Structure 1
Amino acid sequence: MVSTDPHVLPVSTTATATTTQPPIVTAVVESQPPAVRAFVNGVTETVRGSLSRSRPWSELLDRSAFTKPESLADAATRFRKNSSYFRVNYVCIVALILGFSLLAHPFSLVLLLCLAASWLFLYLFRPSDRPLVLFGRSFSEYETLGALILSTIAVIFFTSVGSVLISALMIGIATVGVHGAFRAPDDLFLDEQDPAAAGFLSFIGVPTTSSVAPSAAPSPV
């Protein structure tokens, strides 16, 4: 006779291991771009965006537009108008003069590059939770910053780097000043913006008041 046992036979349910904790994937961390690459990419994008707002160099070097200013006030007015229009071009001229001056003085260039590398790798790109260890000694954050500041002062004021930078900046500013004073601004580009209201970062693309004036008409009551 068949035995009808009401008891249900236990089913062997081997519970799967619930150890579904996410493992520490170091490859993801390693695949992240380093701080140096992020910094270089940011600088590159900034330079490209600024250069895209530069004026045509043929317009900057138009010989027919150079005339002698009538007075110092006229020269100052010309420089103010030209500097607000050729702002990016003037910055490029000063940067090129500075670069050629450093290339003409390799020792100053090497010192400046070493100083910049020290700031980048010993302070800016170094993890803040780990102290700097050099020659078996640990340096705190304030000690590292103080040493970098003292090194910068020593390199700039006690070597030829400071004189090269100052002379190059003076030559660049003088070149820009002479161009801005002797180039007669014409009405073709002066109508594009108000030179008196243009700020130092006016080439970023802030909308002018002339573009929003029609939409700001008061509604009749």
Structure 2
Amino acid sequence: MSSSAPPVLSVSNVQSADQPQVVPVSAFRTFFTHINDYLRNGLSQNRPWAELADRSAFTKPESFSEATLRLRKNYSYFRINYLFVVGLILALSLLSHPFSLLLLLALLFSWIFLYLFRPVDEPLVIFGRTYSDRETLGGLIIFSVFLIFLTSVGSLIISAIMVGCGLVCAHSAFRVPEDLFLDEQEPASPGFLSFLGGGASNVAASAAAPGVATRL
């Protein structure tokens, strides 16, 4: 009596190369997590706003050199607060012009999704036409220059920054810095975003994941 053996099912390993490549969501999460960490670190260095608005500490400078000295010391001490003031004025200016704000958001998302987080080996295809990485970068640069310099967006941003810097300079020149604790070991010209300088490379390296463009 013969018995037929059950057929042996062959298991074929599917190569990972045949699977569609998906941009890992962790790249976005890592990038924005690091940005959030460095922003938190910078904002933790802000000074009490009561010191910034202490009216008893305001006097007219006796000379231009004294005003310059006050500006340098106050800038070194209140730089995070000053950055917040300039950013607030810029934000209010953009909110008062919703069309300009939408254009800036469109520019930001264009850079993020069309270049920064697009896989290197995945060409950009728009309306059936394939664009190389160099063509994509050139198009984004042209779009950015057009948006910033040939529309009202650029003048709005420059005007808001000039108003904010004017308020910062006026406050620094009239605020007496003698009652402020200044760290002598602090760099002479730290810059507004000095707290981000040390970690910029770490943010770029951590944001790059397999299959994601390492253009950061």
TM-score computed with the length of structure 2 as normaliser: 0.76
1:126 is paired with a residue of what secondary structure?
A: coil
Indicate the percent of aligned positions where both proteins have the same amino acid: 54
- 1:119 and 2:108 correspond: no
Between Structure 1 and Structure 2, whose CA radius of gyration is higher? 1
**Aligned residue for 2:184?**
193
Change (3 A) 1:36 1:55: same
The higher relative CO (CA closer than 8 Å, separation ≥ 6) is in 2
Q: Which amino acid aligns with 1:118?
A: S
Q: What stretches of structure 1 of length at least 5 have no aligned partner?
A: 1-18, 207-221
Q: What stretches of structure 2 of length at least 5 have no aligned partner?
A: 1-10, 199-216
**Aligned residue for 2:207?**
none
What is the deviation of 1:202?
6.2
**Aligned residue for 1:217?**
none
- Output the aligned Cα RMSD: 2.6
What is the deviation of 1:172?
0.8
**Aligned residue for 1:110?**
102
- 1:133 and 2:125 correspond: yes
What is the deviation of 1:40?
2.0
Whole-angstrom CA distance in 2 between matches of 1:74 and 1:195: 21
What is the deviation of 1:35?
2.7
Residues 81 and 195 in structure 1, CA contact (< 8 A), matched pair in contact too:
no
Whole-angstrom CA distance in 1 between matches of 2:194 and 2:28: 29
- 1:142 and 2:119 correspond: no
Q: Deviations over 1:97-139 (max 9, x none)?
A: 1111100110100000000000000000100111101111110
Whole-angstrom CA distance in 1 between matches of 2:137 and 2:31: 20
How many residues end up aligned between the 2 structures? 181
**Aligned residue for 1:214?**
none
1:130 is paired with a residue of what secondary structure?
A: coil
**Aligned residue for 1:55?**
47
2:45 is paired with a residue of what secondary structure?
A: coil
What is the deviation of 1:194?
5.4
Whole-angstrom CA distance in 2 between matches of 1:159 and 1:119: 19
Whole-angstrom CA distance in 2 between matches of 1:127 and 1:194: 43
Q: Which amino acid aligns with 1:86?
A: F
Q: 1:92 aligns with which of 38, 61, 84?
A: 84
Residues 80 and 195 in structure 1, CA contact (< 8 A), matched pair in contact too:
no
What is the deviation of 1:87?
1.1
- 1:173 and 2:165 correspond: yes
Residues 38 and 195 in structure 2, CA contact (< 8 A), matched pair in contact too:
no
